[in-house]
Structure formats: structure tokens, C-alpha cells
Structure 1
Amino acid sequence: MASEHRSGRPRASSREVLAEAACELFLEQGYDATSVSDITRRAGVSRSSFFNYFSAKSDVLWSGLDEQMDAATRRLRDGESVDDALAAIGDRLAPDALALAITNAEAMGIATELDRERAVRQFRLQRELSARLARDGMPPLAAEVRAGALAAAVLAAVWAWADRTGAGRPLGEVLAEALALV
């Protein structure tokens, strides 16, 4: 009898399974009380598999937005307009673990962690935007201030969208409104 070869879960589904398991556990027992081992056990994958997809527990929540911000950074560096690069974040980000965490921050015990990680990402985006605006000829102080406002608008839009995921508008619309306020 031939043995069946098993190559493991497809990469995309393992990432999704891990995120789903993590969110379930964060809701059940809280963020701080949930370990990477708890997540991998719930997902039915090895601990090393977890680290193939995420470098830390918090990355489970942020991976979707991080991917879109990294893509926006590449677009900015490749010369795409600031408006188009930022709008693409809104067009491509789907409801995911981050939206669930934002909506259920208190139940997950993750509000402080979300605030800290939000600030890190906002600054990272601000730095990229400031560099781009300066390359385009904007004076350094003006570039820094404008970039800060744009980065804040992006993160504020993500939060407003996540709070209204079920009955709200698409992120692209919320982001366009936020960017228009800058």
C-alpha cells in the first residue's frame, strides 16, 4: 500500500488559519494571556510554521496593513503620486485580523498594544512620505508636517473603517475623505 505524501497546508491558508486561531484565542483569553504556542496548537501547525509567516504575535494582527503600507512605500519610491500610492491602501486592504482587533480591542485586552503599534506604523509611513515630499522639492519642515498629517489620516481612516466594517463604507471611501481633510 502506497503511503500518501503530505506537503502541508498551502502557504496562504496556513497564514489565514493562524490569524483566525489567534483572534479566537485573543477573544477567549485575552491578548497577553495568549502565547504563540497556544496559537499554533489551535491552528494545528508547528511553532516554526508560525514564524514562517509572522515574526511576532502582534504581526498576526498587522500583516495585512503592513503589506499594503510596504506596497505604498514601493509605489512612492517608484515615482507614483502620493495621492495614488495612499489611495491604493484603501483599495486593497480587506477586513482582516486587524479590523477584528480594533472592533474588539477591549474584549481582547489589546487596546494599549494597538495604540503602540499604530504609532509605530504611522511614524514609518510619515518617514517615507516626508522623504518623498522632500525629493519633490517641498521644504523639509513642510514635508515633515504634511507627511505627519497624511500618515495620521491613513491610520485614522483604517480605525474609522474597522469600527464600521459591518454597516460602513468601503475603506477607499473613508480614506479619501480623511485625506481630503489634510
Structure 2
Amino acid sequence: MTSSRERMVEAAFALFDEQGYDATTVEEIVERAGVSRSTFFRAFGSKEDVIFPRHDDLQARIAARLETGTPASYRVALREAAALVLAQYLDEDQLALSRYRLTRSVPALRDREIASMLGYQRLFREHARRWLAELGGPDVDLHAELLAASVVTAHNVVLRRWLRGETADPWHEFDDAMASVLAPDASGPAAQQGTTVVVLQDDRPVEEVVASVREALSRPASRRR
């Protein structure tokens, strides 16, 4: 049975597609969903909140996975935590595609989406700093920041390719991208002879991302600056 929350989300996105985000009111959403205004505002703080997944719940699951990581297993923890984000969007399917269209056309929604991604990046950074500090080495803060940014960037490349219909196998591309950015000699202080962390623009095809990272990792350490 469809819950009242699901009915409101479905009604909202249908109306956004039909008449646009700005032209749609809460009253129209609750009327189509067959619920009251009080039911709507118990579930959502605003019309904008209808559009986005439950980021608080997702962040809690990400944090729980990262908490189980150790200096020896942190690459696995980062990969699996990033996979939770991708799975959330893939599971939403058409809803995620509708959200993508909205965030491309409504600047305020795009800003909120960016803020959410920065929240995930902060979680990765905080845990990476702890792991890398235990491993020892210079510039732990810098390496943790770059490592977190690399993971989020790689995830976003794959997600946006899927949203644009450019890949039918996002999980395969995700595995390739994570293997590159989490390669042992891209891990910061854990690498004894130098560090390589590559942050790439998130709208490039994932094949270019992976090729660029691998090419960078293949250079001698003296040329990685």
C-alpha cells in the first residue's frame, strides 16, 4: 500500500512536470494526493523538501558505515559509503530523473543539491582525517580533503552519466572510478614514496576520469606535482 508520503511525492513531481515547479502550490499537491495540509507539513517543511531524498537518514547510514572503517580498511569503507549514495538515486529511478531535470532549471534547488553533496563530502573528510592521522605522514588535513573530494567527484561523474542516459551499467563504472581514486598510491600518508590524489571535473565521461587517474598514477613520483 502506498503511504501518504509517497502519494505526496508522486503528486508533487507530476505537477512539477505538468506546470513547473514555481507554478505548483502546496494546496495543489495535497489536493492531488488526497491528504490535508497538516499531513503535508508533518512530513515536509516546505514544497522544496518534497523534491529531495531523506538526506538525514542517508547521512546517518553513511556515518554508520564509515564508523566501522579502520586505517587498514578505509578504502573499502569509503567505497561502500559512496555506494550507499549511488544506490539511493538508482533505487529512485524515474524520481531521480525528474529531480535532475528540476535541479537543472531551478537555481535554488541546484544550490540545495550541492549543499547535500558537500555534507557527504564532509563526512568522508572527517573520517579520512582520522584514519590517515593514525597511519602517520605529512599534510593529513590536505590529503583527507583531497581524498574526500576525489570520492565525491568520482561518484558524481557516474551518477550524472546515468541521469543523462549515457550509461546502462552505472555500477560497473562506479567500481572502475572508485578503484582509480582509491588506488593504494593515491591514499595520502599511507603511500611511503609520495602521494597522488586527483580531483577531476565532474561532468567528464567516466572513461576519461579513469584514464586520467590511471595515467597520473603511472608517472614517476617526481612528475606528480
Scaled by the length of structure 2, the TM-score of the pair is: 0.63
SS of residue in 1 equivalent to 2:22? coil
User: Which residue matches 1:4?
Assistant: none
Structure 2: any 5+ residue segments left out of the alignment? 70-75, 134-139, 182-225
1:99 matched to which residue of 2? 97
The Cα shift of 1:100 comes to 1.7
Counterparts of 2:4 and 2:99, CA distance in 1: 19
Q: Hey, what's the Cα distance between the residues in 1 that align with 2:153 and 2:56?
A: 15
> Structure 1 residue 142: deviation in Å?
1.0
Q: What corresponds to 2:161 in structure 1?
A: 160
- Please say which of residues 76-85 and 120-129 is displaced more in the overlay: 76-85
| Greater relative CO, 1 or 2 (CA 8 Å, sep 6+) | 1
Structure 1 distance, partners of 2:41, 2:105, is: 21
Cα offsets for 1:104-163 (capped at 9, x unmatched): 338xx7342342122101210111000010010250111012112212332333222222
Tell me, yes or no, if structure 1 residue 120 matches structure 2 residue 152.
no
Q: Give the distance between the partners of 1:96 and 1:52, measured in 2 at CA.
A: 25
Measure the CA separation in 2 of the matches of 1:117 and 1:59: 10
Number of aligned residues: 167
- Would you say the 8 A contact 1:21–1:42 is kept in 2? yes
The residue aligned with 1:150 is 151
Alignment counterpart, residue 86 of structure 1, candidates 82, 85, 102: 82
CA distance in 2, matches of 1:152, 1:111: 22
**What is the letter of the counterpart of residue 63 of structure 2?**
T
TM-score, normalised by the number of residues in structure 1? 0.76
RMSD: 2.7
Distance in 2 (alpha carbons) for counterparts of 1:141 and 1:16: 42
| Greater Cα radius of gyration, structure 1 or 2 | 2
